[in-house]
A = this chain, B = another copy of it.
Amino acid sequence: MRRFLALFLSAAAAATLAQTILSPEVGADRRVTFRFRAPNAREVLLAREGAPRLPMRKDEKGVWSVTTEALEPDIYGYTFVADGVSLIDPLNAMMKPNLLNTSSAVHVPGPASLPWEINDVPRGVVHHHFYKSGIVGDQRDYFVYTPPGYDPKAKKLYPVLYLLHGFSDDASGWTAVGRAHVILDNLIAQGKTKPMLVVMPLGYGAMEIVSRSAPPLRDPKLRQRSFERFRDSVLKEVLPAVEKTCRVSNKRADRAIAGLSMGGAESLYVGLNALSTFAWVGAFSSGGMGEDLNASFPALDEKANAQLRLLWIACGREDRLIDSNRKFLEFLKSKGVRYTWTETGGAHTWMVWRRYLAEFTPLLFR
């Protein structure tokens, strides 16, 4: 192996590989062992998505390790926190990209019936689009999932879901981490979800909001500007481009908008203020709705019920945002707006959001 690798890699890299340790190692019993070489670190913790941090123990070769208990089949983000610094697992190519906190990811495989497992079913395509936004003033991107059998030359028009990521994700979040394309492929193959396009735009109207070097962002004006310009970029740039180039219906009954965390708040903000555009709205573990809900939803009242085919709001009981979600339900009640409330287990994690997507999309366009 060394000789072969040395053709392509530096000698040092090839040598490292040859003496490599394995991480993560998923056992048949679904216990997972994580290993990380850091001979001089004083403390290394395993920080796994949605779980308390676990101390790791160092062996005589400087390799820290820990073995979890049996984990539910799922995909988990994790980092190693070495003397206070979060690091990805250098032995694992599976990543959970993020603008502020890149993590590693580990897949604990489960039965084929789990919606995020890759199965031998017809597969859709994920299209990555790039454009200059006149509204935000930068070069940005969005992703479009087209379902299996989608034919740009055919006459059929599909319904479309606008699916928004959370704070610190980028436009790839719902596919790279959320596996939205895999989930849709599976649910469509099972006949549970109607074939639809899914449009995944970049969720910031002001990129400063995710800049590390930005001055403190206490100013709610920045949040408001980001939400407003995001709304405008979706409604005036992304949506018209999608409707021009893709075989999607332009009827409100065929358009949905949903998102997670910040994207949940954006779905409510964009969707409930544009009911002539969207008939279906979903908000998963929403956060960042703002303090003054009357100001954010000035025209919302019981007339919305005639236009809304579904307003689906979900949050996990261990999510610190559950109180603000309940507060939002109270606001809706005070306005006479009907909604569907789904309270589940789980915290503010992708394990929850993949399940919400699998629960939400079968309800759409019925």
0/1 string, A205-229, CB within 8 A of B gives 1: 0000000111111100001000000
Are the CB atoms of B86 and A93 closer together than 8 Å? no
Closest residue to A53 on the B side, CB-wise? B12
**A125 at the A/B interface (Cβ < 8 Å)?**
yes
Are the CB atoms of A38 and B128 closer together than 8 Å? no
Are the CB atoms of B130 and A128 closer together than 8 Å? no
**A31 at the A/B interface (Cβ < 8 Å)?**
no
Residues in chain B near residue A262, CB distance under 8 A: 8
Inter-chain CA distance A17–B348, complex, in Å, is 19
* Protomer copies: 2
Residues in chain B near residue A127, CB distance under 8 A: 125-128
Scan residues 1-33 of chain A and give those whose CB is less than 8 A from a CB of chain B: 1-5, 7-9, 13, 16-18, 20, 22
Given A1-B214, A40-B40, 10 further pairs, Cβ under 8 A: A1-B215, A8-B168, A17-B100, A20-B212, A88-B90, A88-B102, A95-B95, A123-B131, A124-B130, A125-B127
Name A residues whose Cβ lies closer than 8 Å to a Cβ of B: 1-5, 7-9, 13, 16-18, 20, 22, 37-42, 62, 82-88, 90-91, 93, 95, 97-102, 118, 120, 123-132, 139, 152-153, 166-168, 170, 175, 181, 185, 212-218, 223, 261-262, 287-288, 320-321, 324, 348
